[in-house]
Amino acid sequence: MPTRPDRSQLGSAVVEFALVLPLVLVVALSLVQVGLLVRDRLLIEAAARAGARAAAVEVDVTAVRAAALAAAPTLDPALTDVEIARQGTQGDPVTVSVGYDEVVHVPLIGWLFGASLRLDAAATNRQEFA
């Protein structure tokens, strides 16, 4: 036959839940923000690779920037920097660096990550034009 808990212990589960809930909430929201950061990091790397491919066959800086930004359509172009470093001529390397100022989107955890983070990636290809 089940016994009833002592009257002094009836509210302890509610108090324990109230104490643990903020910690669980912060951990869950932090995982969401980390997922967003990983997604944007992958987009930055894809943009750098696309920019390096375009820079290998084109001289036009505007076309290279457009190719890099097209590879990362969900990123804000105003927060994205694309830099091109060429050395020499055909057969020499060209490096495209893409930087992005990631704004923390998830509420309640800005104190943990800061207001924004800087993500950078670079890719190098050989120039194919003379």
Question: Measuring CA to CA, which residue among 115, 96, 106 is closest to residue 36?
Answer: 106
Q: pLDDT band at residue 104, thresholds of 50, 70 and 90?
A: confident
In the predicted model, what is the mean pLDDT of residues 93-113? Answer: 89
Q: Are 81 and 112 in contact (CB under 8 A)?
A: no
Q: Which residues pair with 100 in a beta bridge?
A: 80, 119
Round to whole Å and give the CA distance between 56 and 19.
57
Token readout for 85 is 């470093």
The alpha carbon of 55 is separated from its chain's Cα centroid by a whole number of angstroms, namely 24
Round to whole Å and give the CA distance between 98 and 16.
47
Per-residue pLDDT tens over the stretch 41-75: 999 999 999 999 999 999 899 999 999 999 999 99
- Report whether pLDDT(121) > 90: yes
Supply the mean pLDDT for the chain.
89
The predicted structure's pLDDT at residue 129: 74
Domain residue limits, the chain: 11-126
Tell me the three state secondary structure of residue 58: coil
The predicted structure's pLDDT at residue 9: 66
